Amino acid sequence: MESNWPELKPGDIFAVKGEGILAWLNQKLIKPETDRYHFGIIGDYVSWEDDYIILESIDKGIAVGRISFYKNSDVKVYRINNSDENADYYGRHATTELSRLGRRKYDYLLCLKIALGVFKLWLVQVATLHRPTSVNFWEIEYATNSAFICTEAAATAYERAGYLLLNPRECQVPSAYQEQIDNGRLVEVASWSPGLALSSVMPVKPVTCTHFTSIKETA
């Protein structure tokens, strides 16, 4: 049976376009700007149902679902772009590691801390520049705990697999992913949106990472 989906791999990262006031705030308040709001990881393909398993952090915490949940959403799918011969291993291992966190809760407290962190930076801007502007994501105060927002979950899965997708010391918000896209460390491999056919995007030539590589290489 021919699949209705693009060919995806375990460990690919799907990013859903935001809507409403939260999406607007996400775009305008934090740099680099991005219209992506929700992130998760692609798992195995279920051939008899023509669907992909996904792992994501939603309001109830780390959850298992299907990519078909987002068939009517605006979605882009990214893949780590690394010349490392173990790139496929990292992707599959990341899905396994995220399943180990299946009972972790959603980090509502971090959402509040991020908002307060942006507000604090605004106050500094008002005092120095006399007006607030958007802030760089790495300027926001950040600390981890046992709960995860969606962007943390995907990055943590890769970190536990031995690959530093995002800097673990910097605030892991959608803009952090956009930086990796801009740097060529994440490449778009597929996309779809309401009213448009699913499409695959040929990955660009793999690059050798200079910002982050595997944990063992940065130790």
Give me the pLDDT at residue 128, please: 77
Alpha-carbon torsion 186, 45, 90, 86, what sign?
negative
Between the ranges 6-10, 116-120, 135-139, 207-211, where is the mean pLDDT highest? 6-10
Question: Across the chain, what does the average pLDDT equal?
Answer: 83
- Quick one: what percent of the chain has pLDDT higher than 90? 50
Nearest to 214 by CA among 155, 154, 162, 157: 162
Q: What is the pLDDT of residues 194-219, one digit of tens each?
A: 866 565 554 444 444 433 443 434 43
Helix (H) or strand (E) segment spanning residue 159: helix 150-161
User: With b meaning 16 or more CB within 10 Å and e meaning fewer, what string describes 138-161?
Assistant: ebbebeeeebbbbbbbbbbbbbbb
- Looking at per-residue confidence, does 13 or 197 come out higher? 13
pLDDT digits (tens, 9 = 90+) for 76-105: 999 998 666 677 889 999 999 999 998 899
* pLDDT tens for each residue of 169-195: 898 999 999 999 999 999 999 999 886
pLDDT score for 55: 96
The pLDDT of 154-183, averaged and rounded, is 93
- Please enumerate in sequence order all residues whose Cβ is within 8 A of that of 181, keeping only pairs 6 or more positions apart, or say none: 78, 187, 188
- How far, in Å, CA of 95 to CA of 102, rounded? 11
Residues 154 and 39: beta-carbon distance below 8 Å: yes
By the 8 A CB rule, do 81 and 12 touch? no
Predicted pLDDT at 24 = 73
Strand partners, 80: 186
The model scores a pTM over 0.85: no
Domains along the sequence of the chain with CATH: 13-218 (3.90.1720)
DSSP string for residues in 59-97: TTEEEEEEGGGGTTS-EEEEEE----TTHHHHHHHHHHH
26-66, pLDDT tens digit by residue? 777 888 989 999 999 999 999 999 999 999 999 999 999 99
Residue 74 clears pLDDT 90, i.e. is over it: yes
